[in-house]
Amino acid sequence: MTRRWLIILAFLVAAAQISVLSWTILGRASILRDGSEIVLSVEPVDPRDLLRGDYVTLAYNISDIPLELFSDLANGGSTVAETVYVRLRPGGEGIWAPIAASVGAPLSNPPLADEVDIRGHARVNVHSRQETVRVRYGIERYYVPEGEGREIERNLGLGSFTVRVAVAADGASQIKSLHDGDRMLYQEPLY
Amino acid sequence: MVSYASKVKRDIERWVEAGIIGSDTGSKLAADVAQHHRGASLGAMLATMASALLAASILIFIAANWEVIPRLTRVAFLFLLILVGYVSGAILKLREHGTFGEVAWVLAAVSFGAAIALTSQMYHISGDETQALIMWCVGTGFAAAVLQSRYLTVLAALLAICWMTVAVSENASKATSLSLQYLGLGSTVYAISYWTRSRAARQILVVSLSLLGFLNFLHEPALAYPMVLGGGGVALFLLSVWKPVFVQRWLGLGSSGSVLGLLAFITAAGMAQLDYIDTDGFLFASAAVFIGLVGAMLLSGRDNRSLRWLVYLTFSAELAVVYLVMIGTMLGTAGFFLVGGLVLAALAWFISRFERQIRGDRYNEGGWAQ
């Protein structure tokens, strides 16, 4: 390898890796900017992540979906982890609640103006006697500055907390802000 | 290799003193050994350790989520580290500072991983450890292949193994398909390692097969896993002993093939022991381990110090395990060890006679040659 080539290749590798990262960041920012906004009620589970710092684990009012909402599970489901789509509509006190759900592909009829389809992953097994399906949307963590995790978790146990979530057209979701009643605690900048 | 070089040098000095070879030939031989077995330089080893520390500091700094520095600045800082790391590594390589160049590349690749983690942190993405690891692994493997870097190949192998460990241990229901995916990913890194001349990466990947077998076995304790792993291990061992050139040409494992094969066999036998722990099968599995260890020692222990150490360590550990598991029936344990001890003693006596005979034959052959 000649002198010039190795340096050019090194530049190319750096550029490739930086582009991949920038693409991820821009994709995430576009969900925040353009996604439909929904409000979910939230309760904490427990914190800590070694590699990426402290976080609070969150569970939502849409984390457990009643089995009967899955219209296509009547004919028997599977036991593997699958992508699921959950249709939400604003309910009491402005909190969005599930009204229908499907496994594998989005619901056949498109959402109405005040409805949003959110995408998640679930382990679906209708043969067991479970009445709800636990769905994970990829927004179950809220990263906080080191040392603040425990405090937030304590406070979350006291009041009624809500999270505003941006949902993209393909169902990908992204936490926008964390609220204690009407007071906003944290808001996410685009970048 | 340092120990080999210094041993040969001592021998050369002895031969010169004894008048077997002339001092001229002696110094030529010593120069040749010095040139071919330079060994690891102390500076290179320290630089490698420094890179591990610096890499950890970058990762932990990002994990601390320090708010004094705005996150866009943190992202920019990592992008800069990636760029400076790769380019300065290339410059260092061209100026004959090979190890330092590799270290700079490793830091750049680690910054890439830190930036992936930072993105997850910025956007509160959960449940994607495996996705983040695979992205990091692919990015690092790509850099290793493009820059022909030995260290980056090792890093890519380690990341692939991390991904496999997390993915397989967390998804019992998908363990088989994930294992197959890992075999694909591992083979790709293995192929890259030929181009980058990284034997260490190949050795790590072969060791990881034992881990893969063990993780699958934990999910589903079927005897098929230890059978396949143990069979593969024995095959690798025997090939390395009888066809070392073949193993070097096709697997590129150097002299470590027999040790890696034995390691796979030991892991497999350990799995079988776990499976049979409360039955008579345990005794058979334990006997298989002891027979395997003795067999390995007889076939390859003479010329291979790492293999000897592996045998000694496993032998002692195995004694402790058998003793603890069978402690309920002390008489049984004592009986097992007694029989084992007598067989070994007989074997030792037989072999030492055999060895003496071989030595004698060689001496006679030498005599005729003169």
Q: Which residue has the tokens 């926008």?
A: A176
Domain-embedded: residue A21: no
Quick check: A16 and B140 in contact, CB under 8 A? no
Is some CB atom of chain A closer than 8 A to the CB atom of B249?
no
Is some CB atom of chain B closer than 8 A to the CB atom of A140?
yes
Give dist(CA A23, CA A21) in Å, integer. Answer: 5
Give dist(CA B299, CA B53) in Å, integer. Answer: 41
Residue B368 has what pLDDT? 41
Query: Is A136's CB within 8 Å of B139's CB?
Result: no
Domain-embedded: residue A90: yes
pLDDT, tens digit, 9 for 90 and up, residues A53-76: 577 778 898 988 888 788 766 555
Task: Give the chain A residue nearest B82 (alpha carbons).
Answer: A14
Q: Which of residues 32-61 of B touch A (CB under 8 A)?
A: 59
Query: Is B126's CB within 8 Å of A51's CB?
Result: no
Query: Is B127's CB within 8 Å of A140's CB?
Result: yes
Give dist(CA A46, CA A154) in Å, integer. Answer: 10
Q: Which of residues 145-174 of A touch B (CB under 8 A)?
A: 145-146, 174
Q: Which two tokens stand for residue B322?
A: 């058998």
Query: Is A50's CB within 8 Å of B63's CB?
Result: yes
Domain-embedded: residue A30: no
Query: Is A7's CB within 8 Å of B91's CB?
Result: yes
Is some CB atom of chain A closer than 8 A to the CB atom of B142?
yes
3-state DSSP assignment of residue B127: coil
Between residues B26 and A183, the one the model is more confident about: B26
Torsions phi, psi of A127, nearest 5?
-75, -25
Residue A156: is its pLDDT beyond 70? no
| Exposure of A104 in the CB half-sphere (CA atoms within 13 A) | 8
Low-confidence ranges of chain B (pLDDT < 50): 1-2, 366-370
Residue A127 has what pLDDT? 62
Is some CB atom of chain A closer than 8 A to the CB atom of B86?
yes
Q: Return the domain boundaries, chain B.
A: 1-37, 221-321, 326-361
Domain-embedded: residue A5: no
Residue A2 has what pLDDT? 67
Residue A51: which of B79, B90, B117 has the nearest Cβ? B117
Residue B1 has what pLDDT? 41
Domain-embedded: residue A28: no
Q: What is the ipTM of this complex?
A: 0.76
Is some CB atom of chain B closer than 8 A to the CB atom of A177?
no
Residue A148: is its pLDDT beyond 80? no
For an interface test with A, give the residue of B61, B65, B155, B163 to mutate (most A CBs within 10 A).
B65
pLDDT, tens digit, 9 for 90 and up, residues B128-145: 678 889 999 999 999 999
3-state DSSP assignment of residue A154: helix
Query: Is A20's CB within 8 Å of B127's CB?
Result: no
Quick check: A97 and A61 in contact, CB under 8 A? yes
Q: Which residue has the tokens 């094969």?
A: B261
Give dist(CA B132, CA B109) in Å, integer. Answer: 13
Domain-embedded: residue A181: yes
Counting the structural domains of chain A, the total is 1
For an interface test with A, give the residue of B79, B123, B192 to mutate (most A CBs within 10 A).
B123
Burial class (CB in 10 A: 0-12, 13-18, 19+), B29: middle
Which residues 6+ apart lie within 8 Å of B120 measured at CB?
A: A52, B128, B132
Give dist(CA B284, CA B281) in Å, integer. Answer: 5
Q: Which two tokens stand for residue B130?
A: 């495996």
Query: What range defines the domain where residue A82 resides?
Result: 35-187
Chain A residues touching B64 at Cβ < 8 A: 53, 145-146
- CA dihedral sign of residues B284, B288, B289, B291: positive
CA distances from B110 to A17, A120, B62, B79 (A): 11, 30, 12, 11
Query: Is B93's CB within 8 Å of A6's CB?
Result: yes
* C-alpha closest to that of A118 among A126, A107, A130: A107
Give dist(CA B307, CA B370) in Å, integer. Answer: 36
Give dist(CA B172, CA A20) in Å, integer. Answer: 31
Residue A108: is its pLDDT beyond 90? no
Q: Which two tokens stand for residue B167?
A: 């993915």
Torsions phi, psi of B127, nearest 5?
70, 30
Query: Is B120's CB within 8 Å of A52's CB?
Result: yes
Is some CB atom of chain A closer than 8 A to the CB atom of B76?
no
Chain B residues touching A12 at Cβ < 8 A: 146
3-state DSSP assignment of residue B281: helix
Give bridge partners of residue A83 from the DSSP assignment. Answer: A121
Q: Which two tokens stand for residue B347?
A: 């074997």
Chain A residues touching B121 at Cβ < 8 A: 52-53, 143
Is some CB atom of chain A closer than 8 A to the CB atom of B138?
no
Is some CB atom of chain A closer than 8 A to the CB atom of B72?
yes
Chain A and chain B share a number of CB contacts under 8 A equal to 131
Is some CB atom of chain B closer than 8 A to the CB atom of A138?
yes
Neighbours of A30 (CB within 10 A): 15
